[in-house]
Structure 1
Amino acid sequence: EIVCYSCSPVRDEMTAAFRSSADVWVDAWQMSDDELADRIQADKVDILIDVSGHTTGNRLHVFARKPAPIQVSGFGHATGTGLQTMDYVLADPVFIPQSARHLLAEKVYDLPCLITIDPILDLPASEPPMLRNGHVTFGVFNRIYKISDEAVEVWSKVMREVTGSKIIIKHTLLDDPMLRDNLVARFVAQGVAEENVTCLGSSPRPEHLRAFANVYISLDTFPQNGGVSTWESLYAGVPVVAKLGNGASSRAGGSIVAAVGLDDWVAEDDEGYAAIACKYAAQPAYLARLRSDLPARIAAS
């Protein structure tokens, strides 16, 4: 039996979708912590899962009262709550490494991959763009404020080493000419020719997904990784180079890439990241096979 305690006054189509999946729905946003804890106990809930973490509007004070025998932090960033009354935190083998697990109040319960999206089933297969245009095209379809100076430096190093390579950066904010010019200037300052940097702005989602047909290899941002954008690239058959950092948000990319069996696309440092990008940029036959195999790999993961 699934009981949902809705702690937000917002009502939209997502609320309706969750409500239709619940056996019992409780509008709990006006309940005090004591009232909600009493209601959960009265409902005889065995396993209580939090999906808010330390974000605005959370009900961690309810979890501190331990109204259910097993309590789980299911918030999608696997940072833990610090509550001794929280028994488990959902993560995956990459998101929280073994060396850090002693730091959490909760016991880590591993899923195959913590960050997932609904399957993208209608994405048409595409041939590697290198076969059409004769050069390697890297892609970054992440939010541009995730693009750190360190990432630009590493990407530029890769582009200097991969002769004739180009990069496509796509994000809604790049409709703004000033932001676009500023981003291009950051690459130019690292020795990348302006004509080798293409900036694309907003587009309807189907068109956005089809734009991966022009990308040979995707480059994940760091230290703040991609999530949905990483999955979108993989569903399009475009592998993603990722780098592991110390925090949860800097391990999401590696978590996703490893979950579909591409462990050798995950680096520990900048040098390893650049080496992976350069290595596979020189293997067009392998990338062509991988491009056609990735959707099936994801389905089996």
Structure 2
Amino acid sequence: MLEVLHYLYRHMKDAFKLILIHEMLVRYNRLLALNYIDEGSDDKLYDAHREWGKRFMKLYAQYTSWDNPKVADRPLVIGYVSPDFFTHSVSYFVEAPLTHHDYTNCKVVVYSGVVKADAKTLRFKDKVLKKGGVWRDIYGIDEKKVATLVREDKVDILVELTGHTANNKLGTMACCPAPIQVTWIGYPNTTGLPAIDYRITDSLADSPNTNQKHVEELVRLPESFLCYTPSPEAGPVCPTPAISNGFITFGSFNNLAKITPKVMQVWARILCAVPNSRLVVKCKPFCCDSIRQKFLSTLEELGLESLRVDLLPLIHLNHDHMQAYSLMDISLDTFPYAGTTTTCESLYMGVPCVTMAGSVHAHNVGVSLLTKVGLGRLVAKTEDEYVS
């Protein structure tokens, strides 16, 4: 028994650390969820991220100096770390930077944490390698060891593309393996991590007058902070269905978590104001009958008959998913967490999208996208404008 107690005592710190790491993983999900329900202009959302960041940093030792060559005019070494270099929403905004990067004046190193590579992963890897970049598969490698790899590669700027979403590498970022660290694309808020210096955005997604707080310094690109590369499997744009149907169909293919009670209230107002109109909503959870029934019941309570609503589950083939946009005439964005990939897909397939401006980044991504493609007239400032 004494031997067992000695063993437990020796490993107590490791066990405690494992508990802390598990707690941090739970907190990832909590922080992400807060974006769906909180407008975020007050301090609560910022404080939650900042507090997480302070605690998370204590789990890792930080590098405080770097031996990167101090040589003028040498190529900068820029690293990109993400688990989403596969057919994932983020990948549609990563392809253009990887393809059109300046590989002459920069050395690009990709740290891929992809769990299961697909054809898109292989295409990305092939592009990077053919242009002279480096591709490192890091799935399953401890985040501290990944930080060591980054150090050995002498990365000058490390860009993480995930934030508080699945399989992120914020543990690597917490080690400060690069002298400059950046977050971009994958998360609509501050990471809360003091180890990250900058967050890339634009002046429409994050107004210079915003009250939203970040631990990172915001770098606003002169145009949009996103560059969408459509799926080559999208297929042709179809005529608006109202021509053959004789009625207007509104729709949304956004994550169900983004369709808040307030969003459903506003959508019901729209449908009730447009005679004979219909609503089509597609998302993964609609494969579950109880969720479908709850969704329809909520709309019925808001005055919208369930017979006017079509619910579609996940569509696995990308071509079929993109062609499903032909079922709608007008795409309805969500709030306070707006769509990103869905908005771009909708526009690419010829379906206009209506969005509503807000006070924080998550709310304003649609504002940025629509304005930059000349559709600023589809941006509402209030719920009443959105409905009308």
TM-score by length of 1: 0.76
- Offset from partner CA, 1:109-151 (integer Å, 9 cap, x none): 2343345543245432322222222222111222333221111
The equivalent residue for 2:110 is 4
Q: Does 1:141 align with 2:247?
A: no
- Distance change in 2, residues 1:17/1:186 (3 Å): same
The equivalent residue for 1:297 is none
- Distance change in 2, residues 1:220/1:42 (3 Å): same
The Cα shift of 1:181 comes to: 2.6
Q: Does 1:242 align with 2:349?
A: no
- Distance change in 2, residues 1:36/1:163 (3 Å): closer
- Distance change in 2, residues 1:82/1:191 (3 Å): closer
Q: Does 1:118 align with 2:229?
A: yes
- Offset from partner CA, 1:50-75 (integer Å, 9 cap, x none): 22434566554654554434322225
The equivalent residue for 1:177 is 289
Instruction: Measure, in 1, the Cα distance between the counterparts of 2:230 and 2:250.
Output: 24
- Distance change in 2, residues 1:9/1:140 (3 Å): closer
Structure 2 unmatched runs, 5+: 1-106
Q: Does 1:225 align with 2:225?
A: no
Instruction: Measure, in 1, the Cα distance between the counterparts of 2:319 and 2:263.
Output: 28
CA RMSD of aligned residues (A): 3.0
Q: 1:1-301, aligned counterparts within 5 Å?
A: 1-6=107-112, 8=113, 10=115, 12-13=117-118, 16-20=122-126, 21-22=128-129, 23-26=133-136, 30=141, 33=144, 37=147, 39-55=149-165, 58-60=168-170, 62-63=172-173, 66-100=176-210, 103-111=213-221, 112-120=223-231, 122-203=234-315, 204-275=317-388
**Which deviates more, 146-155 or 204-213?**
204-213
Structure exhibiting the larger radius of gyration computed from Cα positions: 2
Task: Report the 3-state secondary structure (helix = DSSP H, G, I; strand = E; otherwise coil) of the residue aligned with 2:209.
Answer: helix
Instruction: Measure, in 2, the Cα distance between the counterparts of 1:44 and 1:253.
Output: 37
Instruction: Measure, in 1, the Cα distance between the counterparts of 2:243 and 2:135.
Output: 54
Counterpart code for 1:184 = L
- Distance change in 2, residues 1:96/1:136 (3 Å): same
Contact in 2 for aligned 1:78/1:90 (Cα 8 Å): no
- Distance change in 2, residues 1:16/1:156 (3 Å): same
Task: Report the 3-state secondary structure (helix = DSSP H, G, I; strand = E; otherwise coil) of the residue aligned with 2:210.
Answer: helix
The total of aligned residue pairs comes to 273
Instruction: Measure, in 2, the Cα distance between the counterparts of 1:125 and 1:61.
Output: 43
The Cα shift of 1:19 comes to: 4.1
**Which deviates more, 244-253 or 218-227?**
244-253
Contact in 1 for aligned 2:230/2:345 (Cα 8 Å): no
- Distance change in 2, residues 1:26/1:244 (3 Å): same
Instruction: Measure, in 2, the Cα distance between the counterparts of 1:50 and 1:119.
Output: 22
Counterpart code for 2:117 = D
TM-score by length of 2: 0.61
Instruction: Measure, in 2, the Cα distance between the counterparts of 1:163 and 1:58.
Output: 46
Task: Report the 3-state secondary structure (helix = DSSP H, G, I; strand = E; otherwise coil) of the residue aligned with 2:158.
Answer: strand
